[in-house]
Amino acid sequence: MNNIGDHKSQQSIGHALKMKVIHIPCLEDNYSYLVIDEKTKQGAVVDPVEPEKVIGVAKENGVEVKLVLTTHHHWDHAGGNEKIKELVPGIKVYGGSIDNVKGCTNKVENGDKLTLGADINILSLHTPCHTKGHISYYLTGKEEDDPAVFTGDTLFVAGCGKFFEGTAEQMHESLCVTLASLPKPTRVYCGHEYTVKNLQFAQTVEPENAKISQKLTWAQQQRQSGLPTIPSTIGEELEINPFMRADLPEVQEKVGCKSPVEALRKIRELKDNWKG
């Protein structure tokens, strides 16, 4: 499957890229991320729930951390913000303007733009539903870099977050409009390692989808080897993620629905009750 090759090629050319992403496993199954502008060695950290660990990784890589990108207010994403402000005096902590993010110094709205170092541009995308003010951060570097999007708990590999503070309409807009319209090679870095379970559930929705089966086999091998299943890509999510595929008539038919939003609501309901 292409995906496995893609991961290898990304790793082998990693040193040539101007925008480097290091995943940092935290808590039980969370991911924080360190994004490095290779030219200036300036960094941004995404959801640094274990700040000491994240700053340790930055030091190992000779990186000066300049900013925090918080996807949403839940403690396992925003809970390290106050501490990281103590560890890095003057650090800017970004979070959604209506999300009440702990330790936030700079509120962002949909469409707000930030920069990191010499080459990295950051676009804030409002992706509500899991929380009202959830922000996904879309990062672009130089042309040879594939873009990256940090989706917190809105989009997971083959899944999406629970509808805690929003509606199926909002999740449809967030997943199938906002995120689905990003370039297909965009690397997806999500907030949790839920991939194996998500793919097992996806198989119950589309049992004959070969891409889901292939990705599941790969993901199980990765986890058995103690390796992560991130990143995926937007292009891949459109092939394996039942929530992003709710726009397809054949997926709607599978769950007995006639519209994308209805199908998305139904798939979330099925997932919430799934005992897999």
Q: pLDDT tens across 198-229, in order?
A: 999 999 999 999 999 999 999 999 999 999 99
Q: Residue 16: pLDDT band by 50, 70, 90 thresholds?
A: low
Mean pLDDT of 171-180: 98
Q: Could you give the residue numbers annotated as active site?
A: 72, 74, 76-77, 130, 153, 192
Amino acid at site 148: A
Task: Please enumerate in sequence order all residues whose Cβ is within 8 A of that of 202, keeping only pairs 6 or more positions apart, or say none.
Answer: 158, 159, 209, 212, 240, 241, 242
CB 34 within 8 A of CB 61: yes
pLDDT in tens, 249-259: 999 999 999 99
pLDDT tens, residue by residue, 138-170: 999 988 889 999 999 999 999 999 999 999 999
> What's the pTM value of the predicted model, to 2 decimals?
0.94
